[in-house]
Structure 1
């Protein structure tokens, strides 16, 4: 009795619930919009076709296997299958593609090479899939079901391929094949069990009689494969539309938090020749830098979305370009020259008289990849003062090279340490929050000016906290480059040329002291994150907690008496957090669970 309902209770609903639990902390407003949109389209497109199959007895259900309620002769259980299959496959696609910044997979085909041949071949193939079955003789009733499947999916495949071919051809295969393969294999097993039990059946006169394995008809295998492909293609087309809207403010100056379908269609019909390829290249270069230089912030970036994510990546790219060019300079003189170049660049970007000529002149000293990132720094949403303060932090770093002649280390007191951390990290906290507020889709219900200022001040303090963690972690590697951010007034024994063991004990005590200060600041300021706009709150949490996890690793090593300068894999170097632990921290944080103080 009611076998079809039990199929859902035993198989599809538990899988949907598992995916819901895993994905729920990561879901954004746009993800929910996508799920609802694709489910509605899939239901609407499948219902007439499935109704035709049932009415013509190509596909039948024993009366005792279903409850009885139906819509256009399609049982309620089958209607639910339309929804739950789309939900499962879409959720899996969303989950696997969270780290992907879709915009970097766009390309201006007039500049970066064309996908036109592949696009046209795909379109011709889907046209043939629609036309050829219609031209075949109609006396072969055994092929009726498979013919109807192919004719039904071909038009939607044609449309989705036209809209999403760039993503399908450029995304890593794991991002498209896995969300197709996993649900397909699962549903093949479910279908095999259902066909074996007689929960539903294909009429013998309309099928080919070929089996993939015992009890799995080739038509059913094809059905679940092509429908899951269709769902993933639809999800890719949805992502492609959002990426176009987000990547090109010159084409789409404003984008609502949940873009209406007509605007998304407009973006999909935008010619690729209008894409700003230089902007896409700059974004790709900034993302590459982020992935290589900061695994914690790279993880956090996947939680943000839309133009906020893009601008945060461009901001981080600017910071890393500056850090690398100045730090890697062959001499202090060269490093100061780079600081002068960055100062001139900022002067130009914030000048009311800025034009293309002055911008090109300011960018001329920088390497091409650096230019591609700097050019798109979103200065219209960023205050200038923190960016100039960042350069002051680099100037402090240069003083270490001049210490031998002056005898005055740049970090002598705890106040010097705080000032340095403010310049190189607290400024980043302020800049990030400036972007958060600039992109807030709910500005009309957002925080008051006073509350924003309170949150920004807390963000500044949290930035210092994260820099303290960084300093504690990098004491050894910094020393190799002649830098010591531990206040010199703390290092009494080092000044007195005490034995090395005693000096190491003193340095360890200093690291503990800075680490304790960091965790105290974290405890005092972390609640301010809950006052941020909801759409960015989770991403900021992940960024903070991912970095604080490094502090927890350091604290654990101190407690166990282990060396602090070993990576998670056992190689000598900076303490780090293993990848799986970082992912767990990110998920736990998004689920609303904070780490220990």
Structure 2
């Protein structure tokens, strides 16, 4: 005989533990709210409903199979309310976290269409609930099924108000999130009924079996309860996305309180898509289109971060990508590109002039000079004004100017200066975004963490340069190797696109000097990852270790490869190990460094 506690120990709890392990690296404070809120509501509503059902003998349990009874319901059944909620919500979160909720909020949808999509299902749900209420006569065959319907349908109607259209736009993920937990829980239910742990009364049910030992009402219960939980998860995700996009930028410098957060979520839940600013969302969409087209790797890799961090990192990276494209666009003359960069500098100064309130920027002055999609990225970028420091943004633009003016990297100081402009600045900005997007970071160590982030950016850029010596020479006729590391002949060969004529041994020696310097910088910089918010640490560690692995591959290579890289499988392995804690700390170059030695960064 199978006891109810054994059902949990053998089936539900192991599955919950597996899901918790898989989701732990992505867990955020927003998830904590979701779990606490949904578990509280589920327990508070299911407890009286289930007592009512058992009181009227719709289902019964084996007295020897339970540890205790509270009211009319076994202790294990109360546990089941929480366990089922956690299983379904965690599985739903794992399924849906890979795509930003903001992609499914569309203010441009016609109002008539929204009204129909929103209210027709609500009327349907409430009609079913009313008829079920009338049919839920104790000791009658429709009783159990009718009780399920009047318990669930009003909740579905309420949730449809706040997320109906949103869920229809991502219907595949919604159906998958409902189907998998439902199938699993129905199988557990069937197994337990077959072994006498609990039973469904024939007097208060239809007697229809979906499968042997699985009554129609039990299948309906798990299907509809899982639907409620998935709808609730979607409604919460949509509300959090709206708050983050429309409310958070105005409140960066205000102390957050739980009751204000709850108020904002309720406000967001009730907002129709048409009530939201369409320009804000279209600008975000334009920014992400830039990223999808220009950097599929970033677009994919960013999914390991929380929704909020991913949204803001995307905005930051979209600005960096847009400005980089302006500087690198060979279809535009160099003087015109310099003018465009001056316009960008003017925009940045305007953006930071007023530290609080909505930035007062005349966007028409950029029309015709800068592509519309880039202007959209700039508008999105203004949301980060209270998070970033102007110095880092201007430093990035200085790096573009360095390239536009074709300045020569004369010595190690020039190399460090250029790398700091194009990479340390980005490392600083990313760190500030991550610290602002999620509580839990060590803000008392912010200055030190930012400095280490700048070191990490410098290390990654040195690895980039070491990897691309031949590529930069062939494709750009450019060299970022310090001039005083080279002979006159070597320098001329690099500028002429003939880097290969330096020979593998010499190229390897030059590259490893930068790789070893990057490795030394990484050693200290990687320690700062532990001061970031918990939900960001694994993603940052994975990104850094992927780049570190490129340096390791250069160190291990025989000669100098044209472009050292990791295969997709290798990147996946590194990411998996970092995300799930199998690799922590510095994972750099090991073994004899030979003739190449790191240079000193001041």
Q: TM-score range by the shorter chain?
A: 0.7 to 0.9
Per-residue CA distance 1:182-218 (angstroms, 9 max, x = gap): 2111112111111111111111122222222222222
How far off is 1:582 after superposition? Answer: 5.4
Q: Is the 8 A contact 2:241 2:308 kept in 1?
A: no
Q: TM-score, with normalisation over the residues of structure 2?
A: 0.86
Q: How does 1:286-305 map to 2 (within 5 A)?
A: 286-294=287-295, 297-298=298-299, 301-305=302-306
Say yes or no: does 1:12 pair with 2:12. Answer: yes
What corresponds to 1:117 in structure 2? 116
CA distance in 2, matches of 1:93, 1:543: 24
Say yes or no: does 1:457 pair with 2:451. Answer: yes
Say yes or no: does 1:71 pair with 2:70. Answer: yes
CA distance in 2, matches of 1:454, 1:538: 20
The secondary structure found in structure 2 opposite 1:376 is helix
RMSD: 3.1
CA distance in 1, matches of 2:47, 2:89: 19
CA distance in 1, matches of 2:204, 2:555: 72
What corresponds to 1:389 in structure 2? 395
Q: Is the 8 A contact 1:143 1:207 kept in 2?
A: yes
What corresponds to 2:187 in structure 1? 189
Q: How does 1:514-593 map to 2 (within 5 A)?
A: 514-532=514-532, 536-539=533-536, 542-556=539-553, 558-561=555-558, 563=561, 565=563, 568=566, 580-581=572-573, 583-588=575-580, 593=584
Q: TM-score, with normalisation over the residues of structure 1?
A: 0.87
Cα separation, partners in 2 of 1:362 and 1:55, compared to 1, 3 Å = same
Q: Is the 8 A contact 1:545 1:594 kept in 2?
A: no
What corresponds to 1:572 in structure 2? none
CA distance in 1, matches of 2:409, 2:135: 83
How far off is 1:109 after superposition? Answer: 4.8
Cα separation, partners in 2 of 1:235 and 1:57, compared to 1, 3 Å = same
Q: How does 1:324-363 map to 2 (within 5 A)?
A: 324-330=325-331, 331-351=333-353, 356=360, 358-362=362-366
Say yes or no: does 1:274 pair with 2:275. Answer: yes
The secondary structure found in structure 1 opposite 2:141 is helix
What corresponds to 1:494 in structure 2? 490
How far off is 1:306 after superposition? Answer: 6.5
The secondary structure found in structure 1 opposite 2:210 is strand
The secondary structure found in structure 1 opposite 2:405 is helix
Cα separation, partners in 2 of 1:26 and 1:134, compared to 1, 3 Å = closer
Q: Is the 8 A contact 2:526 2:585 kept in 1?
A: no
CA distance in 2, matches of 1:288, 1:587: 26
How far off is 1:499 after superposition? Answer: 9.9
CA distance in 1, matches of 2:249, 2:155: 27
CA distance in 2, matches of 1:111, 1:255: 37
CA distance in 1, matches of 2:354, 2:140: 75
What corresponds to 1:482 in structure 2? 477
Cα separation, partners in 2 of 1:222 and 1:582, compared to 1, 3 Å = farther
Match of 1:472 among 457, 466, 473: 466
CA distance in 2, matches of 1:415, 1:357: 37
Cα separation, partners in 2 of 1:577 and 1:62, compared to 1, 3 Å = closer
CA distance in 1, matches of 2:313, 2:226: 34
CA distance in 1, matches of 2:571, 2:125: 41
CA distance in 1, matches of 2:242, 2:120: 24
Question: Mind listing any 5+ residue stretches in structure 2 that lack a counterpart?
Answer: 589-602
CA distance in 2, matches of 1:316, 1:126: 44
Per-residue CA distance 1:475-528 (angstroms, 9 max, x = gap): 344331222222233333634869945434322222222111111100022213
Question: Mind listing any 5+ residue stretches in structure 1 that lack a counterpart?
Answer: 401-408, 570-575
How far off is 1:548 after superposition? Answer: 3.0
Q: Is the 8 A contact 1:558 1:564 kept in 2?
A: no
CA distance in 2, matches of 1:280, 1:54: 49
CA distance in 2, matches of 1:586, 1:488: 37
CA distance in 2, matches of 1:4, 1:551: 50
Per-residue CA distance 1:23-59 (angstroms, 9 max, x = gap): 2232112212211211111111111111111111111
How far off is 1:75 after superposition? Answer: 0.6
Per-residue CA distance 1:558-590 (angstroms, 9 max, x = gap): 414383526655xxxxxx67563354145135x
Per-residue CA distance 1:330-368 (angstroms, 9 max, x = gap): 232332232122122223323459975634324552222
